[in-house]
Structure 1
């Protein structure tokens, strides 16, 4: 099932589901500040849903269409969530949110600032394939890897993207000699096709949620996986589509376990 809702319709759905918040969404997008605006938005959304046959209202009772109800249950009460941001030069950022419940995943995207798109993805294997489509990596990994202070890695990225290759190279060499892997990473940043961040969140009722985060850099025919560590270091290594699939399988198994 795949369906697109207006902002008003989605707000009404969230209210009907008694959502305290939705992972990945800025509350300001979902919830107007003024009570009168919230009431008007709810009423507009209710009218839209009723007209589309997605909501039946009888007195104080409201009944959602079965498929919509099921997808909203996953969005509002997930067992696990994955928030991915893909950034492309000259295009900007794209947000992908996936919510897991009972072994299946629902995707939410924002086609524009006034719409929400929900779509069934399937199980963890189907989500892996979807993410391989969102982040299409090359077929062969050739470039080794290295460790670098996370702050230095971020500084290098920003220097290189702004055209200051010399400062970027200096930042990459902060923890030791600059080798072939460092230079390959630099080349991919300079010729960036896309970068991405993925945050996987395991939801535990009445406990603090646990998040696992990774990042990708793809350019000049190579891709790199960046994994931050608690000690302030980042592990940076060349990765291909097959390697990324294995990483996703491991992460999804961990958060859905």
Structure 2
């Protein structure tokens, strides 16, 4: 850390921090010494996580934000005194329909949050990340960003978009003091991801993980976020793919029973 960091803790923004990977990443970065600003649409949820972090003697604040609203993102960026890390985690999937019958509204909603949300937050915070002298952007993509699968067309397309942002931005920032890290988790079992995808159908959500002994947890992914962010400033983790042992590939998952 720089001498400036010794006077003021580095600041990390985590989007989609109300639950799952975002909340776990916020906890992990706070424990690593960052002042964490948690953003998400659900104000009560991010404030609860921030309060939990503060109760542990660490530093956190909550800011309600819809990353698909560019004016709101710009207003948020203007409130920050600095920004050293952006974890562009806000995202999600809707439906598991084939391309032939998928709802275009679902495709658009996934594109807006996964791609445009990442773009909005990255563009708004990039000047502060450069000014920090050692900034890091963590783009949360997915194994879906690299391999298509049946029933995943809209989500696969959106996550390919987030991968494209990370890969292009890294090239364009060559020579600038900002690292661009892409994390691509495979099968992660969180409280909400699959349930939201299946529109609240808990049985369909549970079937996604049926027979899989140990899917990844939000904490597993957050551990990778913190590890990548806390490498020395000259070390860039371009792409980190995480899968549970049971998932050998997108199409090959070991299920017991």
Q: Which TM bucket (shorter chain)?
A: under 0.3
TM-score between both structures, scaled by the size of structure 2: 0.25
TM-score if structure 1 supplies the norm length?
0.25
Structure with larger Rg: 1
In terms of fraction of residues, the more strand-rich structure is 1
Q: Which has the higher helix share?
A: 2
